[in-house]
Amino acid sequence: MEFLLENYAVWKALHIIFVVSWFAGLFYMVRLFIYHTEANTKPDEEKRILQAQFNIMQNRLWVIITTPAMILTVVFGTLMLIANPGLLKMPWMHIKLTFVAILLVYHFISQGIMNRLKNGSSKWTSGHLRIWNEVATLLLVAIVFLVIMKTSLGWLGGVIGFFGVGIALMLGIKLYKKLRKN
C-alpha cells in the first residue's frame, strides 16, 4: 500500500495520458464511422475499396490504441483510488465514476457500431454518427469540469453548464448541416 501511495503522482500522470489517448481514439473512431457510412453513396468499386480501407483503419485504431488506452485508464484510475481511498468518500468522485461508467458503455456501443459497419448491417446515418460523436465530447467536458472544479461549481451550475454545452453542440451540428447543404 505504501508503494501505491508513494507513486500516486505517477499513477495520476499515467491516468491522464491514457485518458487523452482513449478520447483521441474514440473521437477519431467515430469520425472513421462517418466516412465509412458516407462511402455507401459512392459507386460500387469505390465503395468497396473505401469500406475495406476503413475496416482496416478502424480495427487497428480500436485494437492498438483505443481499447488498450481504455484499459490502462481504468487500471491507473483504480490504482489512484487504492492509493487514496479517501477519494471514494467525496461526492464528486461518485459523479465522476458514474460518467466514467457511461463512457465505458459508450466505448462498447461504439465497438458494436464498428462491428456492424464491418459486416454491412449498420443502420446509423452519418448525421446520427455526428451526434454520437458529440456524446463523447459532452462526457469529456463533464468529467474534466467535475475533476477540476470539484464542489466549487455547485450542482445547479454544473447541470446548467453540462446541458448548455450539449445544446451548443447540437446547434453547431445543425448549423454545420445547413452550411454543408449550401
Known binding-site positions:
15, 96
138: nearest Cα among 176, 175, 110, 168: 168
Which triple of cell numbers denotes residue 86? 479517501
Binding positions for heme are: 15, 96
Residues near 151 by beta carbon (within 8 Å), at least 6 away in sequence: 91, 92
Contact 127, 177 (CB under 8 A): yes
136 near 103, Cβ under 8 Å? Answer: yes
Burial code (b: 16+ CB inside 10 Å, e: under 16) for 79-98 equals bbbebeeebeeeebbebbee
Taking the C-alpha atoms of residue 108 and residue 92, their distance in angstroms, rounded to an integer, is: 25
